[in-house]
Structure 1
């Protein structure tokens, strides 16, 4: 039998239209894990690949993360027949004398992350996971959780994990010192950037941790915490404001913007919409919230995201370790089950009763000032220009945070070989080399500004090379202006959008002086040089498995050389589905912009991007 990756997806064939469909989805996602539970129930080992933490912590991850879906399913009246397995595992995993003990706790340790799911379960469904335990088991579990909450959590969204553990302990009447809880809550609120956005710690970036962690846990606290009404109102109020911005990270087909780290958590990105419902925050009409929520899970139901046995893989649109993080174990993807939080709500809740509404139309660019982004809604896609954020301590950080443009339809490529300049993608990016082998691209920034719907950044690929980049929306195109000051000659490659590649070389390309176009079976992608001295067009076939959505892609590029001194490169890029009027757009690229006028606008109206200002 030929392997059908779509059928391996546990969501395959589920219409995902109703609350009952989503309840079935939780069960279907969990059941492939049953063969991998240890005899004592505490360990779930799903593969041989490793992470930066030890195997016991990874096995705990496999045990705990499914609870994010199981708990709301049961809280809302759904059936889950394996509570005996979870109770046994919880008792054994926290028992130092048991062979399946999860291991001793320590500061900033992965176990602290996973115990938040246990706290969530204790808080919401103690009758299933706590009350049937005997007194000795309760004492053992409580001791482990109390030890965890005394330790140091990383200075970012991790601080919510102590809060969640404490919500569970409070629900089951285990005493603890509340000042530590309040201290972390106060520190979390200090991450508020304004306009509904948070920072995820003292860092110069925002990403999906803002919706699926900071806001998500804040909404849980707003519902489950006793008292603290003013803080809970602030959490709800920020989420209400944030919804109007984060909707521009979702395409009309339900795809989320692939941007930043931890993309393997997949449909956790849609958990924000469910958290609004859970907390009763009608930030948009319920019909619109439900539309964003349901379209998202349906998009994922068509993707080959599981292995042959139905276990979710590390990867994004398909199994892919190129884009994974050092902290991704085989159990990591099950944070995706955070998506199912609104199953805790009754079926007559306005969220479930609403008819899905389509995404509204946004004909004009939308500035997302706190993030330093500008969103353009194009047919079947949302294109997001980015002034540049940064994360310089992880694999693929440049690609995940520092490209000029991201897309819900085309995602992005990661570079597979940093010693092969001519084979690099540089989709949505400008790559430079001074030896024809190694290369640099935008990474960390010296400055990031926004002026209306225009963006600016200054960056140094080498200490003696300065590049200023301006980004201008021209729907469906966007324009990139680069002013490069270099003391030596450099080779350059700049890429457009990566689109899916067909088998049997069925796609065709058109390249020439200052222009490259790929005509794929589903999409057309083009890049045009608007500079006076035009670069050469190049039809690139990137290294397989480098794009997050498609294993094989096509990419138009511009390639050229620049000499010592100051050079200005001006680029226009766009991509459209083949069913759209791409020919008209291709025949009408943007005009060469007046750089002096753009500079004047930034002198008069440019302000520092709040996300970039972090830590200054």
Structure 2
């Protein structure tokens, strides 16, 4: 059970003042990165530890992700450009695609991550075509198309990455570059394979099943297909735009339930340092007339989420987005997270493409779903039960289906996917040392050495009404390190089957646990059953009278 005092309601801005606030916030983020750019602007080398892709790739990431933000800002202002965004980024494009320039961008064969950033470059060029692409010298256009053209025919990981190829080739097709129809056909077909129904995509398949549910459903799997149609225009396959619009409209019926009254999105899944990129499907729904939200709810949700992060230290003293959730927190990150990664949050500014006269920017705000009434709902595609309580504004999720794991093998538990519960007001523990196994938000067995069993993969049994049931084989990995894709290959001791049932009413979860023998390969025990609750955040170690300072139960990322 979680219950907190209601969050203070921010003082509302007028509709016109709200849009101006968004524009100023975008400007601050864009101007903050300029001191870290190379003299030619092609690479934006923000301070901080490099990702596993290396500093060169990270510099391209800094350019591409802020270029996307600049594109939304410039196109939303219909070319009005007081900060010289078009000129600044055109200079970076010119140097980045010149193979003889010392500030050139890595080719795709030199950096796989460059394929990700190419999609941002392509979308930004599409949105700013009158002010940047059309004004580039022909030689620069040719070099840009040569760099982008290497995407055609390349193998892509079977997840949201296919859309980096799809939107890049769609742009290239429209401006005389290299593209392949079979690439586009494959992207569309795989997207249909990954559609799990009721508006939800699995981010690729794991073990041939829909198990990968997180924020990528919104900021990638819904965003890119619709933008693909936007770039393709009349050349998009018949009916494709309407199909994608219908899916997004259905997803937003669920997503609106997954935002707390404090503006926080659900703290679950990988890449959470992208923060208000979680707004991408909300704004995209408004832009493509694919939303069930009234305009006032769209803006309230968006502005509340933006304010949530900016008010809690998401930017540092230099104005840069930090690697973390509220403040810097490295435990939240993946190995691919580099200093510029948080600027994927640029997608949270899509709403600037809506003109100032759009109802989203003119109508008064409407309450969020959790501010209107309390609710309990099953979300069958991801296998979640969701409850929201109007008394405290907290949204809680009980997870009986989404673990980002191959059901055919054992895995270490990634806290961002394997926990039993998630919410908008708590975060799972992400300790530097995973020894001892999971503690918070669990129903697990603890062995004689005090080590908790892991859960992945889980087997969904039922998610109906206000109840959910799943089971998993208790197992103890020799190496307890984790990652979203299963963790290292290691040996496991296996124990009994643990079946967990949840019944929700308001803020209360009744949790029932059954332990059944696992068979001849079962570890002999003894075990004890341990139920873990919410990891409640504190700002530092709390001292106990007569004892040394102890680490907090959880650190707020």
For normalisation by structure 2, the TM-score amounts to 0.84
Aligned positions of 1:159-170 closer than 5 A: 159-170=162-173
Kindly tell me: are residues 132 and 546 of structure 1, through their superposed partners in 2, closer, same or farther at Cα, counting changes over 3 Å? farther
In structure 2, C-alpha distance between the alignment counterparts of 1:323 and 1:298, rounded to whole Å: 21
Alignment-derived partner of residue 302 in structure 2: 293
Selected match of 2:216 from 186, 189, 209: 209
1:188 is aligned to 2:191:
yes
SS at match of 2:89: helix
CA distance in 2, matches of 1:416, 1:461: 23
Paired residues of 1:64 and 1:118 also in contact (CA < 8 A): yes
Q: Aligned partners of 1:503 and 1:324: how far apart in 2?
A: 20
Corresponding residue of 1:609: none
Rg bigger for which structure?
A: 1
Report the equivalent of 1:481: 512
Matched residues in 1 for 2:164 and 2:75: separation?
20
**Cα distance in 1 for residues equivalent to 2:46 and 2:128:** 26
Aligned with residue 411 of structure 1, among 409, 416, 427: 427
Matched, 1:242 2:255: no
Structure 2 CA distance for partners of 1:260 and 1:15, relative to 1, 3 Å? farther
- Say yes or no: does 1:343 pair with 2:346: no
Return the match for 1:389 from 390, 397, 402: 402
Shift of 1:507: 10
Q: Secondary structure at the match of 1:322?
A: helix
Structure 1 equivalent of residue 73 of structure 2: 73
Superposed CA deviations along residues 501-541 of structure 1, whole A, max 9, x for unmatched, are: 37795999xxxxxxxxxxxxxxxxxxxxxxxxxxxxxxxx9
The separation in 2 between residues aligned to 1:542 and 1:260, in whole angstroms, is: 28
What corresponds to 1:93 in structure 2?
Answer: 96
Contact 1:92 1:100 survives alignment (8 Å): yes
Looking at structure 2, the residues matched to 35 and 151 of structure 1 have their Cα atoms a distance apart, in angstroms, of 35
Does residue 371 in structure 1 map to residue 374 in structure 2?
A: no
Q: Structure 1 residues 545, 341: closer, same or farther in 2, change over 3 A?
A: farther
Question: 117-126 or 280-289: which moved more?
Answer: 280-289
Give the 5 Å matches for 1:30-429.
30-77=30-77, 78-79=80-81, 80-106=83-109, 109-174=112-177, 176-203=179-206, 204-227=211-234, 228-360=237-369, 361-378=372-389, 379-392=392-405, 398-420=414-436, 426-429=439-442
Instruction: Give the corresponding residue for 1:501.
Output: 538
Segments of 5+ residues of structure 2 without an aligned counterpart are 1-11, 476-493, 518-523
The structural deviation recorded for 1:201 is 0.6
- How big is the shift at 1:472? 1.2
Q: Is the 8 A contact 2:459 2:470 kept in 1?
A: yes
Offset at 1:229?
Answer: 3.9
Secondary structure of 2:150's counterpart equals: helix
> In 2, Cα distance between the equivalents of 1:109 and 1:504?
41
Deviations 1:41-82 (A, max 9, x none): 211111241222132211110110012221111112242413
> What is the total number of aligned residue pairs between the two structures?
502
Residues 265 and 336 of structure 1 are in contact (CA less than 8 Å); yes or no, is this contact kept in structure 2?
Answer: yes
CA deviation map 1:543-584 (0-9, x unaligned): 4595344xxxxxxxxxxxxxxxxxxxxxxxxxxxxxxxxxxx
Q: State the Cα distance separating 1:279 from its structure 2 match.
A: 1.1
Assess if the C-alpha contact under 8 Å between 1:430 and 1:494 holds in 2.
yes
- The alignment partner of 1:464 has SS state of strand
What is the root-mean-square deviation in Å for CA atoms of aligned residues?
Answer: 2.8
Mapped contact 2:252–2:291 kept (Cα < 8 A): no
- SS of residue matched to 2:497: strand
Q: Is the CA contact (8 Å cut-off) linking 2:385 and 2:463 kept in structure 1?
A: no
SS of 1:126 mapped into structure 2: coil
Q: What does residue range 20-31 of structure 1 map to in structure 2 within 5 Å?
A: 20-31=20-31
State which of 523, 527, 539 in structure 2 corresponds to 1:490.
527
Q: How does 1:426-505 map to 2 (within 5 A)?
A: 426-436=439-449, 438-462=451-475, 463-485=494-516, 487-501=524-538
1:555 is matched with none
Whether the 8 Å contact between 2:60 and 2:105 is mirrored in structure 1 is yes
Structure 1 residue 245: Cα displacement = 0.9
Secondary structure class of the residue paired with 1:371 = coil
3-state SS of 2:386 partner: strand
* SS state at 1:357 partner: coil
Conservation of the 8 A alpha-carbon contact between 2:539 and 2:555: no
1:259 Cα deviation (Å)?
0.7
SS class of match (1:467): strand
SS of the aligned residue for 1:97 comes to: coil
Q: CA offsets per residue over residues 422-468 of structure 1, 9 Å max, x none?
A: xx6x2212354324354333221244432332111111122232111
Change (3 A) 1:335 1:503: closer
SS in 2 for 1:499: coil
SS in 1 for 2:463: strand
SS in 2 for 1:442: coil
Runs of 4+, deviation exceeding 6 Å: 13-16, 393-396
Q: 1:435 to 1:488 in 2, by over 3 A?
A: closer
Change (3 A) 1:363 1:545: closer
- The alpha carbon displacement at 1:416 in A equals 3.1
Aligned residues of 1:223 and 1:279 also touching (Cα < 8 A): no
State how far apart, in whole Å, the 2-side matches of 1:117 and 1:106 are.
Answer: 18
Paired with 1:330 and 1:503, the residues of 2 have a C-alpha distance of 25
Q: Verify the 8 A CA contact 2:202 2:217 in the aligned structure 1.
A: yes
